[in-house]
Amino acid sequence: MNNKKTKWRGIHTTQKKTNELEPITILNRLKQRSISLPRIDDKKRWAGFPGLAGTSKEIASYIPFCSKYVEPLAGSVKVYQEWVKRDTWAWEEVILNDLSPFVCKWLRREFPEAKVTNVDFVKCIKKYDSKYTFFMFDIPWNKSFYDQDFSMFNRKSVKDYAVELLEICENLTGKFIIASREENDVFRKAKFYHKTITSKYVVSGHYPKQLLTTNFQIK
């Protein structure tokens, strides 16, 4: 019988909770800020879903001039990050809203120039709509991405978010861009302008396409 001990070749880990309640900022390969939480529980780890990372620069180039910039479902505000890099940006007011207190804490720390609010997206839209407002909408793409203690998903499904948002957009005074999955039929069938763009961020070995829905024509 061989009693020789086998040398451990794995990575030693600990069950100790580290920074569980604190949002940590990371930079992706496109030099955009995102949120990372090293440990959520014993089964999950999350380092940020790419989302609009690979399309945000292109989306930012389509934003029309307005004096008020509003993101009612802010998250890590990739489009806003790219917009402020441009020489032409000149907002008088920036509103970044998210229903997650965890995300709001991160937004206040990283973007002190913005007003950060913590209300339902519908309330945010109604409060800040005007002819001078631009809305950037990045609704949840997949409910499972928000199955975390620090995230907020307060509708029954992604479709419910989409349907409710479109109903509001039909009467909006301000300009808007909605970013969604290319295959989102709710937005594709909407009576607005549409444009399909390709991400520059590789996800699972390919460059995903996204659908932009707007109430103004993108040139």
What is the arithmetic mean of pLDDT over 139-157?
Answer: 60
Can you identify the CATH homologous superfamily of domain 54-214?
Vaccinia Virus protein VP39 (3.40.50.150)
What is the arithmetic mean of pLDDT over 166-192?
Answer: 95
pLDDT per position as a tens digit, 185-201: 999 999 999 999 999 87
Average pLDDT, the chain: 82
Q: How far is residue 86's CA from residue 79's CA, in Å, rounded to a whole number?
A: 11
What is the arithmetic mean of pLDDT over 171-176?
Answer: 98
What is the arithmetic mean of pLDDT over 170-198?
Answer: 95
pLDDT per position as a tens digit, 24-36: 888 888 889 988 7
- Mark 62-90 as b/e (b = at least 16 C-beta within 10 Å): bbeebebbbbbbbbbbbbbbbbbeeeeee
What is the arithmetic mean of pLDDT over 83-87?
Answer: 87
pLDDT per position as a tens digit, 34-80: 887 654 444 444 444 457 889 999 999 999 999 999 999 998 999 99
3-class secondary structure per residue, 169-188: HCCCCCEEEEEEECCCHHHH
Q: Is the per-residue pLDDT at 150 higher than 80?
A: no
pLDDT per position as a tens digit, 114-123: 999 999 999 9
